[in-house]
Structure 1
Amino acid sequence: MSYHKWTLPEEQIFREALVKFGQRWDVIQHSLLPNISVKSMKNKYYQKMHQNLQSAQEDSSVQSRVSDEQLYAIIQNILLQNQ
């Protein structure tokens, strides 16, 4: 089976179908996306989940850096006050 190149309308339909039907791939395929294999749907789903996980990890890393910087500023202020 060959790789399926998703179009933007197909991706939109797929996202809406996931909200409505969850991971019921066969229902999504038969009712909304008959030209896309269940395997392609699963691959797209897990690819997007992986991307979202990476984004969340990057976001939390940035938040940690900000928190560390804020903590450092607080410690500096305390040290300056105690001089």
Structure 2
Amino acid sequence: MTYHKWTKEEERRLSDGVKYYGINWEAIQRYCFPQFNATSLKNKYYAVVHHILVKRQAKAEGSQEVKSSSDTASKSESVATSASTNLWATTSEEDVLTRIRMIIEGQM
């Protein structure tokens, strides 16, 4: 399949599919997105979640202290690495999904 630019509506449908079917990517593909394969849906979901986590962590760290512009660039890089490392440090995909749901629902 060629590159597809996702719309906000498609991202919402993907999130709803995960809420309903869990991490059963084949079911989400079959009932929500027959035009995509299950792996691309999984990858997109985790990419969106990663983006949300990085933005939240950057916002939280940015509100703590403002440093010089050179320090800010290196801080952004470390925020992206830190958010990614912390999220995927869990032991299973089910643990990751639970943490993602809590973050999206504002419980973390």
* Band the TM-score falls in, shorter-chain normalisation: 0.5 to 0.7
Paired with 2:50 and 2:8, the residues of 1 have a C-alpha distance of 19
Q: Is the contact between residue 21 and residue 27 of structure 2 (CA under 8 Å) also seen in structure 1?
A: yes
Paired with 1:37 and 1:6, the residues of 2 have a C-alpha distance of 14
Q: CA RMSD in A?
A: 2.0
Matches within 5 A, 1:31-42: 31-42=31-42
Give percent identity, aligned residues only: 35
- 1:4 partner letter: H
Residue aligning to 2:13: 13
Which 5+ residue runs of structure 2 have no aligned equivalent? Answer: 67-108
Q: Does 1:50 align with 2:61?
A: no
Q: Deviations over 1:11-64 (max 9, x none)?
A: 221121122122210110111111111122122112112211211221221232
* TM-score normalised by the chain length of structure 1: 0.63
Paired with 1:53 and 1:17, the residues of 2 have a C-alpha distance of 20
Aligned length: 66
Larger Rg computed on CA atoms: 1
Runs of 4 or more off by more than 6 Å in structure 1? none
Q: Is the contact between residue 4 and residue 36 of structure 1 (CA under 8 Å) also seen in structure 2?
A: no
Which 5+ residue runs of structure 1 have no aligned equivalent? Answer: 67-83
Measured after TM superposition, the shift of residue 10 of structure 1 is 2.2
- 2:40 partner letter: S
- 2:53 partner letter: L
